[in-house]
Amino acid sequence: MEILTSLSEGTQFSIQLVVVLICLFYGAKKGGIALGLLGGIGLLVLSFGFAVAPGKPSIDVMLTILAVVIASATLQASGGLDVMLQIAEKVLRKNPKFLTILAPFVTCFLTILCGTGHVVYTMMPIIYDIAIKNGIRPERPMAASSISSQLGIIASPVSVAVVSLTALLLNPEINKHPLAGFDGYVDLLAITIPSTLIGVLAIGIFSWFRGKDLDKDEEFQARLKDPEQKEYIYGDSKTLLGEKLPTIQWVAMWIFLGAIAIVAILGAFPELRPQFTSKGVTKPMNMVATIQMFMLLAGAALIIFTKLDTSKIAKNEIFKSGMIALVAVFGISWMADTMFAVHTPMMKAALGDVVKEHPWTYAVMLLLISKFVNSQAAAIAAFVPLALGIGVEPGIIIAFAAACYGYYILPTYPSDLATIQFDRSGTTKIGKFVINHSFIAPGLIGVIVSCIAGYFLALGAGYL
């Protein structure tokens, strides 16, 4: 240990950075919970090898993740999510000609309402069926919908990423220069929701013209010559329209949406929240605690009024993916805070001026970190505290919030891989060089356009 601690700060930082990157890359390769667990190795090396005092894991963020995930998983277990999906299918099947524009908006809105992009799995067979039956190249709406479902996370009032970013921006220990008039939750959504929708529109417009029409696609036409392939491609229809969902599932949906509406109202009108006095200053209850309370309330109300089998909650996809996110944020945020906190002065001196002169470099770095960790919330938890520490303006962080979505760069994310499998026509695919896959172009377009829109919205709001 003495050998390592005797090295110059720059050398120590370089070695520590390599250790952290190895943990991130190996964790991302293994996927799932491994990403968070590998943070333990990084922490061990930093503390026992370099005598760096352990930092603080993002407890507020983690507890909010837990509350939101439990509420969303309870919604799925109660059947309320099926009602949302049925409504979405009705919209798409009534307007098949505009599928490439509408489908991305539908998946984005579902994510905004539910706080997770994993709802896209149920929509993909429906989108494929509408596309192939109407002669639309499935790659167009399907790749766009997969990207848009993830892009919508930063615009969701109940997403882990939004809650994480809000908590960090309102934490006086992390954000030493808070924005005047910025209350966090609703003010953040006022930027991210419109910028995200503008990005989704750009994705839809681009996708409308991408690739060859099916009747001009030689590869697709060659596949149709095989009767078995043709039957496989056109297959059976996937639909929820024939199902009559019980009234109790509609009740479940309205309970969940009602909780989200109340949270939004409380965020917009702080005077409606309880007032507490601390050190002679009276302030309303913070939004992090408010979100946690009402998400737990929503889950409890769903259990009470729908009489669902609670054993189903922990078995569905939303709960499992949420717990993975929780572990990832725990390990990554703790490791990142431990490493960067001790080197913040050095990094501020080295990078502060560069980021201030070229704010877009913050967005690029956040985008790449998101790819490494495969999580928007984890990327925010790992990088935003560092960015604030080296002098990045909070307004820039708000403006470029969409840059936390970068895990489409390589086609390794579950929703993208699932979309490829759902597209039986073979038009949604991974290219010969891997990087030239169906999701890279709509992903870059959506994020870049959202960041540009976010910049001008933040400028108009007086944050820049």
Residue 82: CB atoms within 10 A of its CB come to 20
What's the pLDDT band for 424 if we cut at 50, 70, 90? Answer: confident
Instruction: Please indicate, yes or no, if residue 23 is contained in any of the structural domains.
Output: no
Alpha carbon distance 402, 444 (integer Å) = 11
Dihedral sign (CA 66, 67, 68, 69)? positive
8 Å CB contact between 185 and 401? no
Strands (DSSP E) contained in 198-355 are: 275-278, 281-284
pTM, two decimal places: 0.73
Instruction: Please indicate, yes or no, if residue 24 is contained in any of the structural domains.
Output: no
Q: By CB neighbour count within 10 A (0-12 exposed, 13-18 middle, 19+ buried), where does 361 fall?
A: middle
Instruction: Please indicate, yes or no, if residue 280 is contained in any of the structural domains.
Output: yes
* Domain encompassing residue 369: 55-461
DSSP string of 151-211?
Answer: HGGGG-TT-HHHHHHHHHHT-TTT-SSPPTT--SHHHHHHHHHHHHHHHHHHHHHHHHT-S
Alpha carbon distance 458, 188 (integer Å) = 9
Instruction: Please indicate, yes or no, if residue 151 is contained in any of the structural domains.
Output: yes
Give me the number of domains the chain comprises.
1
Highest mean pLDDT among 338-347, 413-422, 440-449: 440-449
Structure tokens at 451: 């960041």
Instruction: Please indicate, yes or no, if residue 179 is contained in any of the structural domains.
Output: yes
Highest mean pLDDT among 18-27, 62-71, 208-217, 450-459: 450-459
Structure tokens at 226: 């095989």
8 Å CB contact between 158 and 111? no
pLDDT for position 455 = 95
CA dihedral 322, 326, 332, 334 (to 10 degrees): 170
Q: What DSSP character marks residue 95?
A: -
CA angle 205–211–214, rounded 5-degree value: 115
Instruction: Please indicate, yes or no, if residue 15 is contained in any of the structural domains.
Output: no
Angle between helix 247-268 and 59-78 (nearest 10): 150
Question: pLDDT tens digit string along 274-316?
Answer: 998 877 778 888 777 887 888 899 999 999 998 888 888 888 7
8 Å CB contact between 400 and 362? yes
Percent of the chain with pLDDT over 70: 92
Instruction: Evaluate if residue 365 carries a pLDDT over 80.
Output: yes
Q: What DSSP character marks residue 405?
A: -
HSE at residue 315, side-chain half, CA atoms within 13 A, is 6
Instruction: Evaluate if residue 452 carries a pLDDT over 80.
Output: yes
Instruction: Please indicate, yes or no, if residue 29 is contained in any of the structural domains.
Output: no
Distances (CA, A) of 449 to 115, 196, 282, 355, 452: 22, 8, 40, 20, 5
Instruction: Please indicate, yes or no, if residue 42 is contained in any of the structural domains.
Output: no
Q: By CB neighbour count within 10 A (0-12 exposed, 13-18 middle, 19+ buried), where does 78 fall?
A: buried
Q: Who contacts 122 (Cβ-Cβ below 8 Å, separation ≥6)?
A: 81, 85
8 Å CB contact between 386 and 449? no
Question: pLDDT tens digit string along 107-166?
Answer: 998 888 877 776 677 688 888 888 988 899 999 999 999 999 999 999 998 787 888 888
Dihedral sign (CA 148, 149, 151, 156)? positive
Q: What is the mean pLDDT of the chain?
A: 84
Structure tokens at 109: 């809105």
